[in-house]
Amino acid sequence: MKELIADLKETGELAVVKREVDPTFELAAVTKAVQRAGEQAVLFESVRGTEFPVISNVFGSNARLKRFIGAGERTFCERWIELTDSCLASRAEDVLVDVETDDEFVSGTLSDLPAITWHGRDGGAYFTSAIFLANDPDTGVPNLSFHRAMQVSDEELRIRLGGTHDLAKYQLAAEAKGEALEAALILSAPPEIFMAACASLPTEASELAMASRIIGKPLEMRRCRTIDLSVPASADIVVEGRILPNERRPEGPFGEFMGNYVEVGDNHVFEVTHVSWRPGAVFHGLLCGSPEDLRPLEAVTAARIYRHVAGQVPGVLDVSCKPNVMITIIKLKTQYEGHAKHALLAAMGSYLDYNKVVIAVDEDVDIYDLDDVIWAYLTRGRADTRAMILNDIPGFYRDPHKDHWGRLAIDATMPWGRETEFARKRVPCEDEIDLSKYLASK
C-alpha cells in the first residue's frame, strides 16, 4: 500500500488531508466530497482514535483499474478475460511461494485499528474493504472475497455472507461438520490482491492465482500465527479468526451499495484470534456505493458480459456497466441492419441478475459517459421505436418485492445506411491539445 501511495502522489492522483478527522461520518463525508470533485484517492493522515492513516477511493477510477491489471492499450474487458483464462489453467499452489516475514509484523487488537462509521443509520463501525481469505474445507483451494464486517469488540466481528458467495458455501460445509471455518481478513492490500478478490472464478480456481497472474510472478505468502492459513505477504493489516458454526447474532443496519439501508438481520459471527500489521501500515477504508465500490464491480461485470456477447455477435468493441451495475452499455461497430438488436438480446441473457437496462451505441460514443450515451439515443433516431420493454422479467436476486423486475433495451446506434447523416461534429486536433502549453502559469 505504501508503494501504491507513492505512485499516486507522483502521478497527481492523491489528495492529502492533514487535519484530524472524526471517523464517525466526517471521514466518509470528506471522501464523498473528494469523489464529487474528481477521481483522486484521498489519504487521511490523522484519524481520531487511531494511529493509522486511512486511504480511500484508491479503486474509484476506470483508468486506474486498467493500469492496476496491466491492460495497456487494451480494454479492461480484454485484459480481464486474458487473466481469468490464464489462471484457470494453473493451480494456486503452483504460483505461491512461502516467505519468512513474521518478524516484520506487530501484534495488536481491533481497537487499535480505525473504527469508521460511514452512514447515518449504520449500526456501528464497519470494515468495508475487508478481503476474506479462506480455504475450501473439502479441496483446500483458497478463496478471496469481500464481505462487510461490523466491529463489535476486540474479540468479535459480525459479518454478512451473501448466499451465492464461495465463502458462504465453505462456512455451510464446515458448519455441517460442527466445525468453525478459519479465515483471515486483509484490510490493507496492494492492487493485485484487491482486483483478484473481485474476480468470479469457478470453485476449483483460486483468486490467489489471479493475483499472481496480474503481477506476472509468484505470489509471496506468510503463515498466520493462530490459524492454519497463509496470507499474501504484501497484506499490511491482517485479522485472523474463525466463523463460528450454528451462531447468528444481530448485525446492521448498514448503508449498502445500491444506495439504501439493509436492516438488522441475524448474521454470522467471526471470532478474532489475532491482529497484526506491518509498522507504518495504512488502513484502507471504502465508502459503500461510492465510485470505489462500484467501479471494480462494474468493470468485472462488464468483462463477463463482453465475453458472452462477443461470443455470439460480431463487432463488439467494449462494454461498460453503470450506474450500480444495473445498466449495460455495448460499444458496437455495426455491420448490418438489426445488428444492435442482436447485441441487445445477447446481453440480456448474459447476466440475468444485473442487466436491467441494456443500451447499444456506435464506436464514437463514450460508454463511460452516460450523458453521451443518452445523447446518442435522443439524436440518432426515433425514441419510440428503438426501445424494447420486457415486462415481468425477474431481476436482482436480492429483490423480494420485485422492485427490479422488467427489462429495457435501447438501440442508440445510427440508422443503418444513414451514417453520414448522423456523423457527429469534431474540431480537428482537439484530442491532441495540451492545455499546459496554452494557459499562463502563476
pLDDT digits (tens, 9 = 90+) for 292-334: 999 998 899 999 999 999 999 999 999 998 756 578 999 999 9
Q: Of all residues in the chain, what percent carry a pLDDT higher than 90? A: 73
pLDDT on residue 87: 84
Average pLDDT over residues 339-359: 88
pLDDT on residue 115: 97
pLDDT at 229 over 90: yes
pLDDT at 182 over 90: yes
pLDDT on residue 353: 73
Question: Which of 3.30.450.20, 2.40.160.20, 2.30.110.10, 1.20.810.10 would CATH assign to domain 74-281?
Answer: 2.30.110.10
pLDDT on residue 379: 93
Average pLDDT over residues 263-291: 95
pLDDT at 434 over 70: yes
pLDDT on residue 441: 64
Give the Cβ contact number of residue 416 at 10 Å: 13
pLDDT on residue 119: 95
Q: Break the chain into its structural domains and give their ranges.
A: 74-281, 311-418
Sole residue written with cell 485479522: 239
pLDDT digits (tens, 9 = 90+) for 51-72: 999 999 999 999 999 999 999 9
Average pLDDT, the chain: 91
Q: By the 8 A CB rule, do 154 and 206 touch?
A: no
pLDDT at 49 over 60: yes
Question: Which of 3.40.50.300, 3.40.1670.10, 1.10.10.10, 1.10.3720.10 would CATH assign to domain 311-418?
Answer: 3.40.1670.10
pLDDT on residue 437: 87
pLDDT on residue 426: 86
pLDDT digits (tens, 9 = 90+) for 4-45: 999 999 999 999 999 999 999 999 999 999 999 999 999 999
pLDDT digits (tens, 9 = 90+) for 373-417: 999 999 998 888 899 988 877 766 656 666 667 889 999 999 998
